[in-house]
Copies of this chain bind each other. A is one copy, B any other.
Amino acid sequence: MWGDAWPRFSCVPWFHFRLASSAQGELVRKMKAESAPDVDVTKAVAELKARKKMLEAKELALQPKDDIVDRTKMEDTLKRRFFYDQAFAIYGGVSGLYDFGPVGCALKNNILQVWRQHFIQEEQILEIDCTMLTPESVLKTSGHVDKFADYMVKDVMNGECFRADHLLKAHLQKLMSDKKCTAEKKNEMEGVITQMDNYSQQELADLFVQYNVKSPSTGNDLTPPISFNLMFQTSIGPGGNMSGYLRPETAQGIFLNFKRLLEFNQGKLPFAAAQIGNSFRNEISPRSGLIRVREFTMAEIEHFVDPDEKVHSKFSNVADLEILLYSSKAQTSGQSAHIMRLGDAVEQGVINNSVLGYFIGRIYLYLIKVGVAKDKLRFRQHMDNEMAHYACDCWDAETKTSYGWIEIVGCADRSCYDLLCHARATRVPLVAERPLKELISLTWTSFEPNKGAIGKTYRKEAKLVMDFLAACDECYVTDQEKLLSENGEFTIEIDGTTFKLTKDMVNVKRFQKTLHVEDIVPNVIEPSFGIGRIMYSIFEHTFHIREGDEQRTLKP
């Protein structure tokens, strides 16, 4: 919906924006090279993003009129023929929830069936089907409980909620459109809008006070911005003590089953698992039809790969594809997206590795197959500052629609972030074994306890002692060995209790051990498909109004 924000630029030639964007890109690069303070870089980057948006809005505004779908007419057709419509309409409807009718449902099934054929079958991916209900502990680890949130403000009288950034932006735009608004004021507010994504909760609160923002519906005061988690919460079981959520993505189910899947694949890397299913996001104020909904179908692949071997054996199959790429570098230097041979993009390092490159090629082929228009599809690389902290490269498949360019598939290299997090939280090692090229021979040092003697002395607590001894590392064992030979005993402490161990209870043994494998945490390449958004793109790209005929036809 950002396209709505820039109507005032309609009389400015588009190349001004291109120049402005390019200059700002130079500035950012220079600042980074000179190690300018973080806060300045962030500000400059935000400014750059804003200029890019202006540029894109301008480019979209300049394109031939017949290329833009009459959205009202199209949506009217889609609803009249029951492709989809608002859910619970006879009860007044719930925003952000849609039901698919017979034609929409058939289309969705076809899209999913082609997906299964194109990915699961042809790539021999392991499909699994996990529950949507998810206990809190899992989503605490994944970071969703703490970070999956937007700021909102509430009308203090009637409790109506607004997304803080959207409301502040709209308010400032209204102020700026006032003829009495000075150029200086305008400039200041322009700056606030540019920085919108970077404000902290407190900064947002201050801005609401500074600009005296009230509820647009009632004029009432608003609460300060509060963080609103976008997950639907519920309680699992009758006790009320197991908090749970509806999953916000299907990926976590795959990470949690990593060990079983690796075993299913005979312990070998690389392999991929996938899941098709619904996810849920409790948007604060969903609009934009099928683009922003509270319940949606996703299809996600997690391709697990040895971090030192990010090479895809089948990459040559897609290397000759010519795809519209919009690299991070092109964006920061104010260039347009341009068509590139996929093989060249990987070779030149535009795309980080051939695994990522392979999936970009396969995603491209899939989208074309199901009906996305080739000339309205591009792959845009995330810029450094918009990438999730765990990702090392990320490309979004975007389609051009009446809402502007929208993301329909994400393709991220998530490195080893997820497996590591869950392994730390559960103490279950989520690793694969890699054969060592050269075997390693080690001298292994460990305690050799005398079970009988320890049992006789410590009875019920003997197991505690035995477990403790089994878990000691070489360094500790060697230290205690010294004490044992000097004093004939040493002590250990378990949960506050001290145990004395004497020579008759424990020895130290040394033996040679040859290692054939080492443990590695696989990296993950994640193509993630928003099925509803793909459907919406197909609707727009295939909608035609018969010339000179009020009757409208749609042919997906």
Contact = CB atoms under 8 A, between A and B. Distances in A.
Given A127-B106, A232-B235, A135 B91 contact: yes
A104 to B, nearest CB: 7
A205 interface: no
B152 A82 contact: no
A234 interface: yes
A239 B159 contact: yes
A98 B131 contact: yes
A238 B105 contact: no
A264 B295 contact: no
Interface in A289-312: 294-295
Nearest to A89: B256
A359 to B, nearest CB: 20
B87 A100 contact: no
Interface residues of A, number: 73
Contact of A87 (B130, B137, B295, B422): B130
Interface in A244-291: 244, 246, 253, 256-257, 259-261, 263-264, 273, 278, 280, 282, 284-285
Contacts of A160: 239
Contacts of A201: none
B99 A138 contact: no
14 contacts: A88-B256, A91-B138, A91-B425, A94-B244, A100-B129, A101-B264, A108-B129, A159-B240, A159-B241, A160-B239, A161-B237, A161-B239, A233-B234, A234-B246
Given A102-B261, A159-B239, 20 more contacts: A82-B260, A82-B261, A87-B131, A88-B135, A88-B138, A90-B256, A90-B422, A90-B426, A94-B237, A95-B237, A97-B131, A97-B236, A99-B128, A100-B128, A101-B264, A102-B273, A105-B129, A133-B232, A234-B246, A236-B282
Interface of A: 82, 85, 87-91, 94-102, 104-106, 108-109, 116, 126-135, 137-138, 152, 154, 159-161, 228, 232-242, 244, 246, 253, 256-257, 259-261, 263-264, 273, 278, 280, 282, 284-285, 294-295, 422, 425-426, 428
